[in-house]
Every structure is written in structure tokens, then in C-alpha cells.
Amino acid sequence: MIFRYQDDKLFCEMLALEDVAESVGTPCYVYSSAAILQAWRAYDAAFGELPHLVCYAVKANSNLSVLKLLADAGAGFDIVSGGELFRVLRAGGDPKKIVFSGVGKTEAEIELALQSGIGTFNSESEGELAVIDQVAGRLGLIAEFSLRVNPDVNADTHPYISTGLRDHKFGIDIADAPAIYARARQFTNLRASGVSCHIGSQILDYSPILEAAGKVLTLIEQLQAEGHAIRHVDLGGGLGIAYKDGENAPSIATFIADLRERVDRAGLTVTIEPGRSIVGNAGVLLTRVLYLKKSPSKQFVIVDAAMNDLIRPALYKAHHTIRPLRATEGAIVADVVGPVCETGDFLARDRELPAVIAGDLLAVESAGAYGFVQSSNYNSRTRPAEVLVEGSSWRIIRSRETNEDLVRGEEPLL
């Protein structure tokens, strides 16, 4: 267990989290390097001898130190913007192991990606293929691409993070793909080398991913029969994690074993793009209780972290388990809320918690994915520090923002 109580104190690896909170202050994200590497290696090992590329989805947590950890372990990267490309290169990632996904890449981003020598583009429109072809031609390069197809499979997850249905903006209808691959032959600076697909995120029952894989493999057989040299299949990310005690998330090993049953004999290199399942349960957000307050109908625990630090509860009604850094007797039922001026600013609602008091430190768990990356400066709040733990040592991997950071680039009107 990476996060566990020892002598009534919550530990991350060999480190008491309260030591970090007292030293760095709150709010503060803390990540376990061991948990991140364990999850990445679980993916890599489960593929065994099958040619594969595990491309960490940078959007889940793009801190340079997290990327460096994964780059050193041999990871590839799934990026969706020029900014993510910049980060991966800055962290020492291998450009050849980069796949560039996303529904709307600009010409400038495409040019930067080609100049950097990325592995492949996952493209989602014919218009974009034309731009990649044109830029590649200008640079005297051949660009490899996969079309991201939309298999019309329903991933049973939150509607905002489900992406594989016909009326979603993502991908190209799978039925239209053969004609587009055929027309793409006219682009002399493009080479079709794969097919990709991603049907959603936080998927706990992964049978829709297997169903989508089956549809994509059928398409690949057809494309190969039509003379396209398709060598790889990219099955996206999406594996869910446990956010609640007792919630059952599939193990990475079982998921990949089941996926391999479908793809092992296809003679393809398999790419996947996991984000949440690598970093999600490797991180917590530390926060301090500022005040307790009672209304006629509710108990509020007012903390120093808010929706600008972790927006998932406000945006998706997401559940994040909250535990005190020191085990506490008794129980209360409360809303855990931040200082931001919105009723939607809550980290938990009607939650049974240990009986905390003002000054106590709390950990908001499973916050390693889509936590800091979705933070903002709303209410002119400085964004929190980030810390990486390795065994019993820790380092600040992003300093807490200052008020000067808040106004950088702004000038008052003269």
C-alpha cells in the first residue's frame, strides 16, 4: 500500500504526509514516484513479447518531473497540443515514441511536431490530413498517420468523458474510414500506418473497449486487403481507477491480458494511451481545515483547497475520498467546501468523515490525474505546489504560485 496509516499518521511511501504539509504549506499536491512507476511497468510487463508502445496520456498530469520519471522508464507519450509536445521534449521524452492526438491541431502545432520527429499523428478529419500533408511537403518529410475512428460503442461513464458515440465530436465514423484511407492516397507526403480509437475515460467495465478493439481489427483487415500497409493499432486510454473504498477497478494486468486475446494474432504493434490509471491513485491533494460552520441543515468543513485546485467534484460530481492526515476518533456528516465564491465549490457533499476540527490536515485522494492540470487561478487564487515522493525523501516539483505569477503579462491601463 502506497498510501496507508502508520502509527495513526497517513504515509505516502515511507514519508508522513504531515511533514510535507507543514513544510510546503497547503493546498499542495503530492505524488508517489513508486506508484507511478508501478502502474507504468504493469502495462509494459502485461504486453510481454507482443510489440507494443505504452504512450502515457500527458493531459492527465503533465508535470515535467512526472514526465521525466516515465521517459526514463521508457514510456512513450500521447500528446494533444504543442504545449504538451514542448513539455515532453523538455523532460527528455523520445520524440519517436510520441503520438499526437486531438480533434483540432493547428498548422503551427503540426509543423513543430514534424520538425521534432514525432512518431505518428492520430488524425480526426480529412481537412487535418490535408494540412499535415502540406506541411510535411514543405519540410520535405513523410508523415505517418492513423485515423481515429469512432466505433459507435457506448462506454458506460460520465457523459462529459465518453467519446465513442456517433454524435460525439471525436474521430471519424468507422463506416467512412475505408473511403478516407483510399482518398488519402493522393496525399504524397502522408503514409497511413495505423488505425486509432479511444472511447472514453474512467471505464470500469472494459468490455466496450474490447468491443471497439474488435471493430477496429475488422477495419484493419479490410484496409490491409485494400493494400494499405497498416502496421499498428492504437486502442486509446480509458481504464478506470477506484475512487471509493470498496470500488472495484480492473487490474491493469487483467485488462491487457483480455485485450491481448483479441490482438495477439493480428501481427500489429499495439499502442495504448493510459493516463488516469498511471497517475490517478498515485496522488493526493493536501488541504487544511480552516473553519467548521453549521447551518440549520448542514455541517460545513471549510478547507483551504477549492474548485480552482481540484475541479473534478464540481465538474463531474466526482467522488474523492477524504482522510485526515492524523487518524481521528468520531464521525461527522459534512460538506467539505473551499473558499471560492460559488455554490459549486465543494470537494465532497454529505460525506461521512472522521470528526475533524479547525487546523486539521486532510488528504483528498486519487487526485494525481486531472487534478493539478485542470486547476486555475479563479478568484485570483495562486495554484498549489506539487511534490514528488521517493521512498522517505521528497522534492518540490512545482513551486506554489505567487501573487506576482498571477499578474504576469498584465499591465494596468495607463
Residues noted as catalytic: 341
Question: Does residue 204 interact with ligand LLP by CB under 6 A?
Answer: no
Using CB atoms within 10 A of its CB, is residue 108 exposed (0-12), middle (13-18) or buried (19+)? exposed
Shortest Cβ 81–ligand LLP spacing (Å): 12
**Considering only residues 97, 312, 381, 383, which one is a binding residue for ligand LLP as defined by CB under 6 A?**
312
Q: CA–CA separation, 18 vs 290, rounded Å?
A: 16
Least distance in Å: CB of 18 to ligand LLP?
27
Please give the helix or strand (H or E) that residue 22 lies within, else none: helix 17-24
Question: Do residues 317 and 342 make contact, with C-beta atoms less than 8 angstroms apart?
Answer: no
Name which of residues 11 to 50 contact ligand LLP (CB under 6 A). none
Q: What is the number of the residue whose Cβ is closest to ligand LLP?
A: 237
Piece in contact with ligand LLP (CB under 6 A), picked from 43-51, 218-226, 236-244, 404-412: 236-244
Cα(339)–Cα(359) distance, integer angstroms: 15
For the chain, how are helix, strand and coil distributed in percent, rounded to 5?
35, 25, 40
| Closer residue to ligand LLP in complex, CB, 181/372 | 372
Instruction: Give the range of 138-146, 198-206, 357-365, 390-398 binding ligand LLP by CB under 6 A.
Output: 198-206
For ligand LLP, which is the closer residue by CB, 77 or 394? 77
Cell of 353: 468523515
Contact indicator for 159, 172 with CB cutoff of 8 Å = no
- Counting contacts by CB under 6 A, is residue 78 touching ligand LLP? yes
Site for ligand LLP in 79-108 (CB under 6 A): 101
CA–CA distance, 42 with 251 (Å, rounded to integer):
9
CA distances from 231 to 45, 53, 133, 221, 385 (A): 21, 13, 20, 11, 42
Considering the complex, what minimum distance in angstroms separates the CB of residue 236 from ligand LLP? 5
Count the alpha carbons within 13 Å of 258 in the hemisphere toward its beta carbon: 16
171 makes contact with ligand LLP (CB under 6 A):
no
Backbone angles phi, psi at 12, to 5 degrees: -120, 120
- Kindly state whether residue 308 participates in binding ligand LLP, applying the rule CB under 6 A: no
> Which listed residue (277, 308, 321, 375) binds ligand LLP by CB under 6 A?
277
**CB of residue 56 to ligand LLP, shortest distance in Å:** 9
Binding footprint of ligand LLP on the chain (CB under 6 A): 57, 60, 78, 101, 161, 198, 201-202, 236-239, 273-277, 312, 316, 370
